[in-house]
Amino acid sequence: MITIIDFGGGNLRSVQKSIEYVGFQAEITNDAETVRKATHLVFPGNGAFGDCMAGMAKYGLISAVDEVIKKGNPFLGICIGMQSLFEKSYEFGVHSGLSYIEGVVKRFPDELISKGMKIPHTGWNSVHFKENHPVFRGIKQDSYFYFVHSYYGECKKEENILGTTNYGVDFVSAVTYENITGVQFHPEKSQQAGLKLLENFCNL
């Protein structure tokens, strides 16, 4: 069973439907004990970083997620779920994250607006990724995925960078650490490439 974490954010049902479309069962839950039993754990959602972490704490999900990760079970963070993996975020203040990835989450520079670019970064953009990673197996290099975000993660260690994208600046659009994968884009909104990524994850 693929378990999808519900911290109180949105966009969970579309992730569930996409996973079911590629042939797997998926449950949505905010119950910590159910999360602890997950074979594969998906942390999707949208919204502000601080609200995300507050929801995780409210339902006792932080320790549950840690237990699943330490067991070596596959974990996929999507959008805010990826950002939560970092040490802290500067979105509407300073908020602590789960700290699996060394680095911080920061806002796109305002100078992009003066160049005629919009924040949030919304729409299709290419991802250049490490081809030997199993979640990108069978996906064409520099494939396009769908993004909606104003903040992005900045890794301290090169080894944690799985994919990069350019939107006025080069930014990290996918991360990796042991059994953890995080993607800034929304695979559930990214048509065939996104569905293939979800299928690859579920097959880990």
Place of tokens 């996409």: 18
Catalytic member of 52, 95, 188, 199:
188
Quote the tokens at residue 102. Answer: 């060394």
Quote the tokens at residue 195. Answer: 């569905």
| 43, 53 Cβ separation under 8 angstroms | no
Catalytic residue list contains 188: yes
Catalytic residue list contains 52: no
| 144, 129 Cβ separation under 8 angstroms | no
Catalytic member of 40, 95, 149, 186:
186
Quote the tokens at residue 179. Answer: 């059994």
φ and ψ of 35, to 5 deg:
-60, -40
| 53, 91 Cβ separation under 8 angstroms | no
Catalytic member of 79, 91, 149, 202:
79
Sign of CA dihedral 163, 167, 171, 175: negative
Residues 6+ apart with CB under 8 A from 59: 7, 30, 31, 32
Point out the residues that are catalytic: 79, 186, 188
